[in-house]
Structures are given as C-alpha cells and as structure tokens.
Structure 1
Amino acid sequence: MRSYKGYVKDQPGFRLLYENYVMSLGHLYEEAYCYNKLTKEEIGIWQFQHDPTCGVVSKNNDWCLVGGEILILRTFFDRTVRPIGDLQDIHEIRLIDENTAQILIDPWSENAAVWQLDLVMNRAAPAFSLWKIKDFKDYPDKPYAENVNW
C-alpha cells in the first residue's frame, strides 16, 4: 500500500464501494482501503491486479469483503487478510445477515453463479464455509449493466 498525504478517501481517484455509519470501504485504483469514521483509522485491505468491483462491511463492523478478480476477507479484530476460495471475477456482494454474504460471479460469463459465504467470527480462529447456491444464466445475452437483478 502506498502512503498518501492525508487520507486516501480524500484522493481524487478514490471510489466508494460501500459505506455505513462507521465505515467507508473503497479503492484507489487497484488498492482497497477501509476507513473507520469514528477512530479516523485507515486500513489497507488488498492490492488487486485490477480495480476492485464491489465490497461490503459487516453489520457489526468487524469484517469486510472486497471483490474483484478474487474475493478477499479482512477481519478487523485480528487484522488478518484471507483470500476466500477460488472464486474469480466477482461482480457484486450483498449481506444477508451479520455473518452471511452472497457473491455474484460475472453474470455474462459461462461461470456465472451465486455463492454464499457463512462466517464464524470466533476470535481464536475465524472460520468460513462457501458453497454455490445456483448457476446464474439470466444475463449472458444481455448488454452490460452496473446493476444486475439477482
């Protein structure tokens, strides 16, 4: 991660992926960052090969997911970063509850699918399970769109 004068969120190229009352999650080109609005702490998440496409922060603000060419989990209580599974070309992520997220893989590819990630936030050793919910073949012949109905 590069060092910037001031906060990275204030840089002209910063793009917001997700925001709640406590956290802002975004990227400056290929580098993903999370900014805690209460503590003013800026947390580097991951340096992707290409710009990240999506992200979420948990309802308890104890972890975040960032998607792009791969899926990255960052847990804030133990400051670890973990690539999740071998998912590629993440298009969108949505929260289901405080420890569950669903991931949409590129809807225009032949690998288009919806996956679910369940997290167990045990402070000693966080664990997760990841499985495919369904194939997603609704968009292969449609033009590209930022918002996909899934």
Structure 2
Amino acid sequence: MTKDKTHRILDITDEIILWHEFEDVYMTIKPSNQQIYLGAIYSEPSCGLISTKNNWCLVGGTALILWTKKEIVGINDHDLQHIFDIRETSENKVELLIDPWADNSAIWGFDIITKEKNKIKDFIAFKGKAYTNRVVW
C-alpha cells in the first residue's frame, strides 16, 4: 500500500491493514507485505472490521465483502445494504448498523461462518436528525 490521499484505511491490526481506494477494497498482510484484492463496493465502502484474531474481515457499504482464510465472498442482500458500521460481538459474529437515517434503519446480526443474518431491532434514534460521523448504537 502506498501512502497517498486516495487510500483510506478501514481497519488495522498488528497483522492486517484493511483499506480501499475509491470503490476497490484491499487488505495488506503486514509481515509479508502481500496485498490482496477483495473486490469492489459501489459508491465506496463506509466501514470495515478485522476480527480480533485476524481470521476474517468484513467490509460494508452498499453490500458486504467477507474475507476468510478460505474464501472471499461478496454478499448482496436487500436487507444488508447501506451498512454504516460493523462491530464484533463474538469470535464469528458481528452486528451491522444499517444507515441510521434511512426508513429501514436497523441492527442486523451476521454469522461469519454460516453467512446467516438475523434482524436484532429497528434503529430509529437518528431518524430526522442531522448527519454525523459518530453514531452511538
């Protein structure tokens, strides 16, 4: 990864840098400096997360991209569009916050292994409020 203003880091650990250049998403394995192309997300990704054990990473935006040591998968699901933020809840599970200002704003659970989703709850706290980069959820 070169350092210029077109690259934006989504997440970083001691082993992996997760980043994008416009719509294209990459990860760099730090020890070897190996760069892996993960795919593209229309209109740029909005968030990314590397697992605490560096076993997987997930990138969100208009869709999801999942990287594990076995595969890279693009996930296009109507319910999981416009992901604003991702948080890890256990070793292979995350919660996804869908656009807090949208009519369908919600928090969804997602299982990294099975790729199954479950709606946890609607998220209405920011409807009608001004945009902010910091959303407490």
Fold conserved (TM > 0.5)?
A: yes
The aligned residue for residue 81 of structure 1 is 73
The aligned residue for residue 115 of structure 2 is 128
Equivalent-residue separation in structure 2 for 1:135 and 1:113 (angstroms):
4
The aligned residue for residue 127 of structure 2 is 140
User: How far 1:60 moved relative to its partner?
Assistant: 1.9
User: How far 1:12 moved relative to its partner?
Assistant: 2.9
User: How far 1:99 moved relative to its partner?
Assistant: 0.7
Deviations 1:17-51 (A, max 9, x none): 11111111111011111111112111111112211
Equivalent-residue separation in structure 1 for 2:124 and 2:59 (angstroms):
23
In the alignment, does 2:17 pair up with 1:30?
A: no
Show structure 2 runs of 5+ residues with no match: none
Contact in 2 for aligned 1:73/1:84 (Cα 8 Å): no
Letter of the 1:131 partner, please give it. Answer: N
TM-score (norm: length of structure 1): 0.84
User: What RMSD in Å do the two structures reach over aligned CA positions?
Assistant: 1.4
Equivalent-residue separation in structure 2 for 1:66 and 1:56 (angstroms):
6
Equivalent-residue separation in structure 1 for 2:74 and 2:40 (angstroms):
13
Equivalent-residue separation in structure 1 for 2:130 and 2:51 (angstroms):
31
Equivalent-residue separation in structure 1 for 2:3 and 2:28 (angstroms):
11
Identity, in percent, stands at 36
Letter of the 2:63 partner, please give it. Answer: I
Letter of the 1:141 partner, please give it. Answer: G
The 5-angstrom pairing of residues 1-150 of structure 1 reads 7=1, 9-75=2-68, 77-83=69-75, 85-86=77-78, 87-120=80-113, 127-150=114-137
Letter of the 1:103 partner, please give it. Answer: L
User: How far 1:98 moved relative to its partner?
Assistant: 1.7
Show structure 1 runs of 5+ residues with no match: 1-6, 121-126
- Runs of 4+ residues over 6 Å off in structure 1: none
Letter of the 2:20 partner, please give it. Answer: H
TM-score (norm: length of structure 2): 0.92
